[in-house]
Amino acid sequence: MNPGDTDFSRLSLEVADFPPLNAIALHGTERFSHPFRFEIDIKIPRGYPVQQLAGQRARLRWQTPDLGAGLRIGVITGGRDLTCAAQPEVITRLYLEPPLALTGKTVHTRVLRGLSLPQLIELILGECGVPRQAIDWRLSGQYPVRDYVLQAFESNFAFLQRQLAEAGVFYWFEVDAAQRRERLCV
C-alpha cells in the first residue's frame, strides 16, 4: 500500500433505479469552495448499460478502519472504460459530483440586474435544477442588491465562483441524510 492509500473495508455505490454496483476502488477530493469529485471504479458485466448512469443521482458509502464511515450524495457526471475488449467483466470509472458541478456545462453572456448575492446564487442554481431547499444559508454579512452584474462568455459555475470570491464567501457540502441529498452550505 502506498502512503496516503486507504484500506476500504466496505464500499458501495447506489444509483437511482439501478441495482447496486460492485465498487472496487475510490479516489476523491474535497476542498472548500470547490465541488467534491469522487472517481469510483466499478466491476460490471459486459453489455451493462453504463451510459445510462450519466446524469443519475447516486449515493456513495464507504467504511474504513482509519477514517470511519462516509457518505456522499451527488450526480454521476461521466465515466470511462478501464478494461480491454477481451475481458469478460468490465471495469469502469464513474465520476460522482454535486449537482453544482453541472453548472459548468452552461455558458452565458448576460447582464443580471437588481439581485443580491443570495438571490444570484438561488437564480443560477435554480437554472440548473438545484432546489432552494438544498442551500443552507450561513451568511453573516449584508449583501445589498446590485445594480447589475455581467456574466460574459463564462459558465454558470465560473460566474458563480467569481461572484462568491469577490464577496469573500466560501462554501462547502454536507450530507442531509434525512432528505437523501447533499446540502450546499454558503
- Walk along the chain (186 residues) in steps of 10 and give the mean pLDDT of each run: 51 88 90 94 86 91 84 92 80 93 89 97 88 89 95 95 95 80 85
Cβ atoms 89, 51 nearer than 8 A: no
The structure's pTM equals 0.84
Cβ atoms 23, 38 nearer than 8 A: no
Q: Return d(Cα 96, Cα 78) in angstroms, integer.
A: 8
Q: Please count the other Cβ atoms lying within 10 Å of the Cβ belonging to residue 86.
A: 5
In the numeric block, the cell 460566474 is attached to 159
**Of residues 154, 140, 172, the one with CA closest to residue 112:** 154
Cβ atoms 40, 26 nearer than 8 A: yes
The contacts of residue 154 (CB under 8 Å, 6+ apart) are 107, 108, 162
Start-to-end Cα distance in the chain: 37
User: Within a 13 Å sphere around the CA of 177, how many CA atoms are in the beta-carbon half?
Assistant: 4
User: Looking at residue 4, what is its pLDDT?
Assistant: 45
**Of residues 75, 80, 136, 84, the one with CA closest to residue 104:** 75
Cβ burial, residue 117 (10 Å; 0-12/13-18/19+): buried
Domains in the chain with CATH codes: 10-97 (2.30.110.50), 102-185 (3.55.50.10)
User: Looking at residue 137, what is its pLDDT?
Assistant: 93
- Which residue stretches of 29-135 are H helix? 117-127
User: Looking at residue 7, what is its pLDDT?
Assistant: 53
**Of residues 156, 186, 161, 151, the one with CA closest to residue 172:** 186
User: Looking at residue 8, what is its pLDDT?
Assistant: 53
Q: Looking at the chain, how many residues does it have?
A: 186
